[in-house]
Amino acid sequence: METTYLLVGGDRRQFWLSRLLVSRGRVFTLGVPGLEDSVPPDRPADVLILPTPCMNGGGRLRGAGEGLQPSALLGLYDEHTRIYGGAVPERIEALLPGCGPVTDLLLDPAVKAANGRLTAEAAAELTVERLEGSVFGLPCLVLGYGCVGKPLADLLMALHARVTVAARRASVRAEAVQSGCVACDFKSIPPFLRVIFNTVPAAVLEPEVLDALPGDCLWVELASVPGGLPAGYIPAFDLLKANSLPGRRLPRSAAAILLEAILRCEVKA
């Protein structure tokens, strides 16, 4: 019997994921932007794919408009349905009573690494668009050197930007130096910066450091909420909010990453 997949809500990643799954079974969609609704007519889905990230701020599954109430999925899954999504809330069993095993795809190290590379690529592209100029020779600061900061610094170096990495741990700063970057801690950032890429979901720079940034500096916010600026801080520099770039800018590639993770899990199931 063919595997039935039901994709719910989300963004263009879900659209492309539905296309990628067609050769693997019967694909149905509910609340996916750009696609007509269709649900398995004869039995609950074998695989239910929730949005990435899963929920919006209103307690609904992310999607077009206000999203979907989780109760809209009742009858479309059972205790045997394998469920996948991103940033799945801890209370998912209460939202989907009687559901089967749930896998948070964003916790997969391979997904984190691949999304980091996509974020780096999209961030560089957005920066060029915002500046209307090249990053060649541009003095850039990357705050953080993890799954996003490291590939971003590498890409900026390849584009011949002047890259400084700021990190708290000396061992991480040493790794950045070995990759060809200049490195500093969060209290010793260089002057005359043109672009700051923040990948740390916390305010790591003191307000007096932020106040000293030149007015033509661009802050590219890549971190998840609350981001890298203090609550209520009003910057005098240019601020570009660039969260969730894989889904927003490179959804086809982001969908392929999710598919690989799902298939790895399905092999283990």
Q: Tokens standing for 123?
A: 């961030």
Sequence-ordered list of residues with C-beta below 8 angstroms from that of 147, at least 6 positions apart, any chain: 112, 113, 115, 116
12-26, 62-76, 250-264: least confident range:
62-76
- Evaluate if residue 65 carries a pLDDT over 90: no
- Evaluate if residue 93 carries a pLDDT over 70: yes
Q: How far are the Cα atoms of 61, 83, 113, 204 from residue 32, in angstroms, in the given order?
A: 11, 16, 26, 37
pLDDT (0 to 100) of residue 1: 75
Neighbours of 13 (CB within 10 A): 28
- Evaluate if residue 16 carries a pLDDT over 80: yes
* The pTM of the whole model exceeds 0.85: yes
Q: Do residues 170 and 178 lie in contact, with contact meaning Cβ atoms separated by under 8 Å?
A: no
What gap in Å lies between CA 25 and CA 91, rounded to an integer? 29
What gap in Å lies between CA 89 and CA 67, rounded to an integer? 16
Mean pLDDT (the chain) is 95
Is the domain spanning 115-245 CATH 3.40.50.720? The answer is yes
Cα dihedral angle (171, 187, 112, 85), rounded to 10 degrees?
Answer: 140
According to CATH, the superfamily of the domain at 4-107 is NAD(P)-binding Rossmann-like Domain (3.40.50.720)
Overall average pLDDT of the 229-234 stretch: 92
What is the per-residue pLDDT across 141-182, written as a single tens digit (0 to 9) for each?
Answer: 999 999 999 999 999 999 999 999 999 999 999 999 999 999
When pLDDT is cut at 50, 70 and 90, the band that residue 128 belongs to is very high
Domain with CATH 3.40.50.720 in the chain: 4-107, 115-245
pLDDT (0 to 100) of residue 229: 95
pLDDT (0 to 100) of residue 41: 86
Q: What is the DSSP string of 173-234?
A: HHHHHHTT-EEE-TT---SS-SEEEE--SS--S-HHHHHTS-TT-EEEE-SPTT-SS-TT--
When pLDDT is cut at 50, 70 and 90, the band that residue 269 belongs to is low
